[in-house]
Structure 1
Amino acid sequence: MKTLSYSYTEAFAQEMDQNDPLRKFREHFFFPKVNGQEALYFCGNSLGLQPKSVKDYLNKELNNWAEMAVDGHFHGEDAWYHIRKKSKPALAEILGAQEHEVVAMNNLTVNLHLLMVTFYQPTKERYKILIEAGAFPSDQYMLESQVKWHGLDPDTTIIEIKPREGEHTLRTEDIVAEIKRHGKELALVNMAGLQYYSGQLFDMKAITKAAHEVGALAGFDLAHAAGNAPLSLHDWEVDFATWCSYKYLNSGPGNVSGIYIHEKYAERPDLPRFAGWWGHDEAQRFLMEKGFIPMFGADGWQLANSNVLALAAHQASLDIFHKAGIKNLRKKSELLTGYLEFLIREISGESGILEIITPENPSERGCQLSLLIHQGGKAVFDEWYQHGVVGDWRNPNVIRLAPTPLYNSFMDVFRFAKILEQSLNKFA
């Protein structure tokens, strides 16, 4: 990509917006208000905005329920019995997967537990799990409980790899070296795809390759990567992954998760799993007989029938993603986050008040920038909020800002810069 010369001027931001081929997608979303004014919303990494089309998608299913009741499972344009299939094309595009490798179901931590049943089978010789230090608490708690379930000690089983002294992010060579160091004992690498606190996008291809070379498996929590960073899970030969849909996928608070399972496991009925009715061969499902026969691909890990209303809200956003195109979104994301980075560095200068701890290299991050606040602490975050900036505070002293390409503009970033300039003068 040709290097762009950014400028801290309103005219530059307006010109970038005018030339943005995705600018009209902003109109597809509702923006919250702070103190009666439309917010500068940079919190898509925590909860994405509501698509205006969600009500229509939900009303369609509510009408089907009202008019057909139980017959809605088998009749109508999108019969509920097969409703999960509707989200597969968009999910496959977003995740870089085959359609049979993905399915929307459950919630993220539930899916992590279910995937561990299959992909974490410790032996006396090979039982350790590698994860990044400071992983999101749900991942930490999940792994701790899984390890204990197998009668193992989390302190000696879970390997937490930390950045080097004085650094905020992990070097890929250090992750690979740690995988090799524990090679014969390592059962699983189970990291985030994109680290929630630092905003670092891990090299999942290299990590997966290193894990496989020592005989371990590789799975990723993509909560902060799905819909945000470029993914090629199938080509990278990632064994499994899960994500949530309420951050960059804009599907509503706590909405449905999904799983990816590489196609090499698509026809493996021998694999251990917690089975459920909806994962059973759908051609024989209503025979109501004993003997679980898993469906082909990721569908064979389903438990219960689909949450139709949740999937309707999910589909509203996925259809927008499909129209925008994940490659187009990534191109804008690099420009938009690059502009935010430029303005922060331009304004903060040598003040020492804040430090960007997210990697500078666009290929090593998504749209999020994490700012380490050295002076003022949470008062800085509160000051920004009073001026309409919705970001995310994470203890002990980090503010996360995520200019999301589907609905944020260059003028949003410019307006934030003016607020940043005022606050630095106050807290200097």
Structure 2
Amino acid sequence: MFENSLEFAKKQDASDSLASFRNKFHIPKDSSGEDLIYLCGNSLGLQPKITSEYIQEVLDDWAAYGVEGHTEAEHAWLPYHEYLTKTMATIVGAKPSEVVVMNTLTTNLHLMMVTFYQPTKTRYKIIVESDAFPSDKYAVESQLKFHNIDPKDGLILWKPREGEELCRFEDYETLLKEHGDEVALVLIGSTNYYTGQSFPIKKITDLGHKHGCKVGFDLAHGAGNIQPNLHENGPDFAVWCTYKYINSGPGSLGGCFVHERHANNNDLKRFVGWWGHNKTTRFNMRHEFDALPGAEGWQLSNPPILSMTAIRASLDTFAAAGFDNLRKKSVQLTNFLEFLVDDLKDDRINIITPRNPEERGCQLSIQVKSADKNLHTELTEAGVISDWREPDVIRIAPTPLYNSFEDVYHFTQRLKKVLN
């Protein structure tokens, strides 16, 4: 199927219907003006060229209209988050009413736990994967402490087996079999930041619900990468950032999903703010809080328009490419990377990410035994922008919107040279 040659890589790029999208992004360059091999979209996505144009539009409207820009701007600011909803819902497989762009990831995670983590004397524990992204673990531990629960008692870790890197679903089953009547919340990173393992959202959700737990997902490394099909798969909530695969710029806003079965339940506890209030009476100022239906009802403050504008630029690019098309290319591109890394035939290398394309996104986590961060430094000096995770893993993410088969080929050639 694949060939280890530059000619083959170029041939694949020539037949790639999405190849032109690379030209829609700013590709970082070296000191001589040559494109760097940027394979770090799992950490920060590249900037779409239209982003500056979109932001300039807002700046011009602000200059021209002042406060009247809320209603008079070309893209009026008052309903601005609504311009993002449809495409974002497509990317995460949700209904528009179930999705809202607001706040940042960990803020949204806390807001969701305020609602969906309601511990009782007997049901108070939380299941997370053992190597969850640190921010998730900190957030969960702080929620437990807020409820006067010792994290050593309240936190249950879903761990890989000894000598393995990946979590097995049957071990999650065992945890729920043993502790299910004590678990209030299951919170899993849909795609693990370190290993690249993509977890089966529906199976995890269905089993959690069977045991009476609420279930949520952190899609930080999933949104824009895999298709989580949130509505169909049925978790209670999900949160994600937009600066990785959704290319919205450093520290940009996050997204939030609340399943429609909770859409009109005003009895749910939540932290509220005026932007989650009924739009028709929001500016009356003197009404009691009246939650908007759906995910919008969890909004707090009026949104930062400049950040949302960068998200709109990226989402318009996603819409033009089509997410199904991107996912198809992602599988091909990552499979090609896997083939080339295997073809190095280097015993020091171990791909710890699942081999099954259905169990991963575009990231491959490449373990190099006995290596240290000097390997990553040498790769950087060789013109490869990648990501290092201690103790010995390089994370490589060929992103289908702007990476090419030729990028992947040149990366493995440079890796081979550095290793030798």
Aligned to 1:225, what secondary structure does the other structure show? coil
1:179 to 176, 179, 190: 176
Q: Which runs of 5+ in 2 are unaligned?
A: none
Match in the other structure for 2:199: 202
Contact 2:371–2:392 (Cα < 8 Å) also in 1: no
Q: Within the alignment, does 1:415 sit opposite 2:398 as a pair?
A: no
> C-alpha displacement at 1:76, in angstroms?
3.2
Count of paired positions:
419
Match in the other structure for 1:23: 19
Aligned residue type for 2:276: G
Contact 1:191–1:219 (Cα < 8 Å) also in 2: yes
> C-alpha displacement at 1:352, in angstroms?
2.3
Match runs of 1:137-152 below 5 Å? 137-152=134-149
TM, length-normalised to structure 2:
0.98
1:242 to 236, 239, 242: 239
1:72 to 58, 69, 73: 69
Match in the other structure for 1:281: 278
* CA distance in 2 between partners of 1:203 and 1:25 (Å): 30
Match in the other structure for 1:398: 393
Contact 2:370–2:392 (Cα < 8 Å) also in 1: no
Match in the other structure for 2:93: 96
Match in the other structure for 2:297: 300
Match in the other structure for 2:114: 117
Range with bigger deviation, 168-177 or 156-165: 168-177
* CA distance in 1 between partners of 2:149 and 2:371 (Å): 43
Contact 1:183–1:215 (Cα < 8 Å) also in 2: yes
> C-alpha displacement at 1:176, in angstroms?
2.4
Post-superposition CA distance 1:42-79 (Å, at most 9, x none):
00000000000001100111111111111111223321
> C-alpha displacement at 1:290, in angstroms?
4.2
Contact 2:2–2:339 (Cα < 8 Å) also in 1: yes
Contact 1:35–1:388 (Cα < 8 Å) also in 2: no
Aligned residue type for 2:91: I
Contact 2:61–2:74 (Cα < 8 Å) also in 1: no
Match in the other structure for 2:257: 260
> C-alpha displacement at 1:177, in angstroms?
2.5
Match runs of 1:327-342 below 5 Å? 327-342=324-339
> C-alpha displacement at 1:360, in angstroms?
0.2
Q: Which runs of 5+ in 1 are unaligned?
A: none
Match in the other structure for 1:359: 354
Post-superposition CA distance 1:326-361 (Å, at most 9, x none):
1100100011000101000101x1x32221100000
Aligned residue type for 2:404: S
Q: Which runs of 4+ in 1 moved over 4 A?
A: none
> C-alpha displacement at 1:35, in angstroms?
4.1
> C-alpha displacement at 1:33, in angstroms?
2.2
* CA distance in 2 between partners of 1:9 and 1:77 (Å): 49
> C-alpha displacement at 1:230, in angstroms?
1.4
Aligned to 1:329, what secondary structure does the other structure show? helix
> C-alpha displacement at 1:298, in angstroms?
0.4
Aligned residue type for 1:424: L
Match in the other structure for 1:272: 269
Instruction: Output the aligned Cα RMSD.
Output: 0.9
Contact 1:189–1:217 (Cα < 8 Å) also in 2: yes
